[in-house]
Structure 1
Amino acid sequence: MKKATLFLLVLISFINFTYGQSSQTENEVLELSMLKWKWMAEKDVNQLEKLFDPQAKFVHMSGTWTTPRELEIIESGSIWYKNAEVHDSAVELFGNTAVVWNRITLTAFVRGSDVVTEFTVTEVYQKQDSDWKMLALTFSSVRDTHQIEK
């Protein structure tokens, strides 16, 4: 009886610890994702360069490119991510990899005018040493009624 009770207590503690760690890590990645939108709006390429893996890929409505091109586009203002209004988010962890889905309304300055578009943005992060690095960011155009299934 004592062994069963002790086993149950250890199991519950392990589950609580594991869930707490996942939740804490999910929150950490989600917070980083939100900071990314802020840095993009502020054209803070110094912070973004630290976040983006040098070999990351960025998929937009008009093409796919690498980190240096994305940073150039942000710095030059050829696409200015003025505001990303995040409506819904989900994070899933796979070992040292995290996938974030954000349903957003993006206001961006593109080709001389402001454009407002509904997107679900998929972001892939990987823990490298002690830092999270973004490996991929994909914009998918969706209806404003689109929902992220959790």
Structure 2
Amino acid sequence: MKTLIIGLLTVVSMNYSFAQENKTNTVVPGYTKAEQEVIQLSKDKWQWMADKNVDRLTALFNDKSVFVHMGGSWGKEQEVNVIKSSSIWYKKADIHEVSINIIDHTAILLNKITLLAEVGGNEVTNPFIVTEVYIRQKGKWTLGSLSFTKQLGPQ
């Protein structure tokens, strides 16, 4: 009997953990399939940044991509190096609102987020509106631009 209960609890907890893993892969009503694909890609990007998964990010970032931060702007190579070296560690992005517009082969996504990051060894939390521009080439979305705009005042 004990073995049966332990077995059932194991199965239930495994199902729960799988459900949690797939939580972000939900269908968002009112968005097209392409819009949902880009929204999911953006969510994945935040996780890859938190995990410092530079291989996935290198593949996602367009070779001509630009990144605009509070302290400056730069291209793909420097952004990958910033993440790899932990100069900026994007620990967690809490996404509060998402909007997206697709124009031909370009997707413009706005995320209203609270970003927990470590910058120069100091942990900081900032409210941002992040503009992400994705370009669809050869059937694949790549990130062309990522810009952080700090929100001022009450959120």
Aligned residue for 1:123, secondary structure, equals: strand
Per the alignment, residue 85 of structure 1 pairs with 94
Superposed, which structure 2 residues align to 1:1-150 within 5 Å? 23-143=32-152, 145=154
Q: Show structure 2 runs of 5+ residues with no match.
A: 1-28
1:130 Cα deviation after fit: 1.4
CA contact (8 A) 1:118 1:144 kept: no
Equivalence for 1:7:
none
DSSP-derived class of the 1:107 partner: strand
For residues 144 and 102 of structure 1, what CA distance do their matches in structure 2 show?
17
Change (3 A) 1:62 1:139: same
CA contact 1:105–1:119 (8 Å) conserved in 2: yes
Structure 1: runs of 5 or more not aligned = 1-19
- Pick closer, same or farther for the CA change 1:125–1:113 going to 2, 3 Å: same
Q: TM-score, normalised by structure 1?
A: 0.81
Cα distance in 2 for partners of 1:111, 1:66 equals: 20
